[in-house]
Structure 1
Amino acid sequence: MRLPLWGDECSTTTTDRGDDPFAGHWGDDPPFGIPVFVLTHHTREPLEMDNGTTFHFVTSSIERALERAKQAAGNGDVEIVGGTNVIQQFVEAGHVDEIQIHISPVLLGGGIRLFDSLESAPIDLNRTSAVASPDVTHLRFEVIPQK
């Protein structure tokens, strides 16, 4: 799995449902242009957008969402975008081979920490790139497989 920004390097993406009812965060022109598999507890029909994005809603499991995303991607990569809970589930299940973290210089004072709830052994990471600007720092890590 990769975690590139907005599907620019991927053939499909998996995310969590961010609002109710789902209309997408991006209005009529989401930045994907690829199939998006949305993890949700709410069953609904796929939502097709004019720019080639189709939101498919998966209510069963992260494994089923991943299976469908891989099928849609063919030989391409799959990215996982979502809230802390979704990312933790995919990391814990060993489905992630690359992590991208984007840090903005804003202190919110609260929230759920990305890696607090992981129950597996420590996850070894190898930093493959770091790009800094005044507004955001982009970090990319390879996940080292556990032996």
Structure 2
Amino acid sequence: MSRVRVHNLSVSLDGFATGEGQSMEAPFGHAGGRLHEWLFPTRTFRAMQGEPGGETGADDAFAARHEAGIGAEIMGRNKFGPQRGPWTDHEWKGWWGPNPPFHTPVFVLTHYPRPSLEMEGGTTFHFVNASPHEALRLAREAAGGLDIRIGGGPTTVRRFLEADLIDHLHVVLVPIVLGRGVRLWDGLEGLEKRFHVESVTTPSGVTHLTFTRP
């Protein structure tokens, strides 16, 4: 059976994985890029931007694990874009330009399905009104035996954790306090009992926490 994985999910000290006030100009709301400053210098991130160089080290080693063995992704609607309610802007094709970095089928969870959107590089966005179990079934059918990545945001990751569908969870604890936004951990008391937990602190100041199902 393919595994269900979460990678590089950055969370503030007070538990927020995104800020308040998401917009076209601010995908993470008032948090800006502060949750991901550990990622930007890495070789993995720079390669995704088509840029040479970058730091290697532990942060890069964790960042690089997000892609290997992935055959499909599931994400929440607000990772795809800031719109709420019925789709009115069908020209919007996500934050990532014509060639998104996924290169797999991507299932976007939404109460307002729309036709699939085929992009360059092998990414096709499918917009589905589905429970976590149903979305996972669709993703597994499309993944060809490879693993499924739950790409975020925090509400979507929390729903899959509540349904006990996550096999590997990688959270990056970032030493900032956001105060408001969307929290990851609410309602997940005792989560650690399901997993083997490890932590690695790096010179950037973040702590990589991995929760792996035994």
Alpha-carbon contact 1:62-1:90 (below 8 Å) kept: yes
2:165 equivalent to 1:62: no
The residue type equivalent to 2:190 in the other structure is P
Q: Which runs of 5+ in 1 are unaligned?
A: none
The residue type equivalent to 2:67 in the other structure is D
> SS state of the match for residue 211, structure 2?
strand
Deviations 1:17-58 (A, max 9, x none): 122245212122211111111101121111111111111111
> SS state of the match for residue 140, structure 1?
strand
Q: Distance in 1 between matches of 2:155 and 2:113?
A: 20
**Which one of the candidate residues 3, 6, 17 is aligned to 1:3?**
6
Identity %: 39
Show the counterpart of 1:52. Answer: 122
The runs of at least 4 consecutive aligned structure 1 residues that moved more than 4 Å come to none
Q: Which runs of 5+ in 2 are unaligned?
A: 9-62, 84-88
TM-score, with structure 1 as normaliser: 0.83
Go from structure 1 to structure 2 and tell me whether the alpha carbon gap of 1:76 and 1:129 turns closer, same or farther (over 3 Å shift). Answer: farther
Q: Quick one: higher RCO (CA 8 Å, sep 6+), 1 or 2?
A: 2
**Which one of the candidate residues 65, 72, 75 is aligned to 1:15?**
75
TM-score, with structure 2 as normaliser: 0.59
Deviation at 1:129, TM superposition (A): 5.6
Q: How many residues align?
A: 142
Superposed counterparts of 1:1-147, under 5 Å: 1-5=4-8, 7-9=66-68, 10-18=70-78, 19=81, 20=83, 21=89, 22-118=92-188, 122-123=190-191, 124=193, 125-128=195-198, 130=200, 132-134=202-204, 136-144=206-214
The residue type equivalent to 1:2 in the other structure is R
Tell me how large the CA RMSD over aligned residues is: 2.2
> As a proportion of its length, which structure holds more helix?
2
Q: Distance in 2 between matches of 1:99 and 1:105?
A: 19
